Amino acid sequence: MSYWLMKSEPEEVSIDDALALPAIAWFGVRNYQARNFMRDAMRIGDGVLFYHSSCAEPGIAGIAEVSSLAYPDETQFDASGKYFDPKSSRENPRWMLVDVKALRKTRLLGLSELRSCAELEQMLVLKKGNRLSITPVTTEEWGAVMSLIEK
């Protein structure tokens, strides 16, 4: 099993929105490295730290799991949408996504609390300049976050 941190803007899809649905398609990723994580490395059942980004209080807001293997992101084909990619085609899709099932909402673990935990000092989301919307999380980091949530 692998672990991931996946960022979502709560105005687009919040942990509450995700909990109200059986699963959500993690659409709109337009970074090749993040796409490759979904396409090549994510497996059904992998753990997900559901992270609220681009909001007043960014941080981990819930726990989820990957619930599908990667498949083409339909938003790349919608010419009227903000995620349209004119270089992508149905025969050769450029962008992939996975479905994510929210398991539970947690108390918000903000950046300052995450940074104060020594076990998380190497966590990619806390690295200066890291803007990836999906990052791998080590088993040790996952354990440290679970301990913080239970505090």
Q: What pLDDT digit, counting tens, does each position of 61-91 carry?
A: 999 999 999 999 999 999 999 999 999 999 9
Domain ranges, residue 70: 3-150
Q: Quick one: tokens of 104?
A: 């539970």
Q: What are phi and psi of 141, to 5 degrees?
A: -65, -40
Mean pLDDT of the chain: 96
- So what's the pLDDT on residue 151? 81
Distance linking the first and last C-alpha atoms of the chain: 25
Closest CA to 135 of 24, 72, 53: 53
H/E stretch holding 101: strand 99-110
Q: Are 126 and 141 in contact (CB under 8 A)?
A: no
- Alpha-carbon torsion, ordered 27, 28, 32, 34, to 10 deg: -50
| Total domains, the chain | 1
- So what's the pLDDT on residue 50? 98
Q: What is the CATH number of the domain that holds 134?
A: 3.10.590.10
- So what's the pLDDT on residue 129? 85
Q: Quick one: tokens of 21?
A: 């649905």
What is the C-alpha to C-alpha distance for residues 90 and 75, in angstroms, rounded to an integer?
11
Task: List, for residues 11-67, the tens digit of each pLDDT value.
Answer: 999 999 999 999 999 999 999 999 999 999 999 999 999 999 999 999 999 999 999
What is the C-alpha to C-alpha distance for residues 13 and 99, in angstroms, rounded to an integer?
13
Taking the model in full, what pTM does it have?
A: 0.95
What is the C-alpha to C-alpha distance for residues 127 and 130, in angstroms, rounded to an integer?
6
- So what's the pLDDT on residue 131? 86
